[in-house]
Chain A
């Protein structure tokens, strides 16, 4: 069957996956259908409720992308300090990295030749 990607001992067939997905979706829809039916659009229950406080303007409500994953960065602070310092943005440093990688790989190959 050419529709299948075989990878040695597993295979991946998106058609089978899609059929399974559709079946699961039907089941989900079935459960969802059994929920409350009182909800109506445009009424008060569609409004934002903040314990009776006044709802702030759209700019204040918006979650900025820069605030995401704060804990992740805080945990990996040391790693990020190092990595960010590596990305200096100076074009000379780019050439330094190139020369360094070339030199290191050359030394590795040289050692391999001398050993083996």
Chain B
């Protein structure tokens, strides 16, 4: 058990982070916390992806003064970078919308600030 856990520790951490993110998104009604929940969800997926790209003994694929040895294929790294960029854009947009919602309704609670239901 301990062996499996130590080998897959980053994967377990990613799943735990995903659980935390979804927990925040489900149970926290504060709009800022919802933004944080999305950010945590995004990081969990990033962690998961980066872990997939790890190869024992592989070196980073940067040729500039690299040591000898097998290099990893940097696909997941590229994916994670793209996802980080997207996450930045998403958070900036959501935060500006949250500010606007607060200005209009005077509340940061997703239950109190809603206008539409039914």
Contact = CB atoms under 8 A, between A and B. Distances in A.
A–B in direct contact per CB < 8 Å: yes
Interface of A: 84, 87-92, 95-96, 99
Contacts of B40: none
A95 B118 contact: no
B26 A99 contact: yes
Contact of A95 (B26, B114, B116): B26
Contacts of B29: 90, 92
B26 A91 contact: no
22 contacts: A84-B118, A87-B117, A87-B118, A88-B117, A89-B116, A89-B118, A90-B29, A90-B110, A90-B111, A90-B117, A91-B34, A91-B110, A92-B25, A92-B26, A92-B27, A92-B28, A92-B110, A95-B22, A95-B26, A96-B26, A99-B22, A99-B26
A87 B116 CA distance: 9
Q: Does more than half of chain B's interface fall in helix, strand or loop, or is it mixed?
A: loop
Interface size class of B (residues with CB under 8 A): 10 to 19
A85 B30 CA distance: 21
A90 B29 CA distance: 8
B115 to A, nearest CB: 8
A113 B25 CA distance: 31
Q: Helix, strand, loop or mixed for chain A's interface?
A: helix
Given A87-B117, A99-B22, 16 more contacts: A84-B118, A89-B114, A89-B116, A89-B117, A90-B110, A90-B114, A90-B117, A91-B34, A91-B110, A92-B25, A92-B26, A92-B29, A92-B34, A92-B110, A95-B22, A95-B26
A92 B29 CA distance: 7
Nearest to A91: B110
A88 B26 CA distance: 13
A95 B117 CA distance: 16
Interface in B12-60: 22, 25-29, 34
Contacts of B116: 89
B42 to A, nearest CB: 14
A89 B114 CA distance: 7
Contacts of A95: 22, 25-26
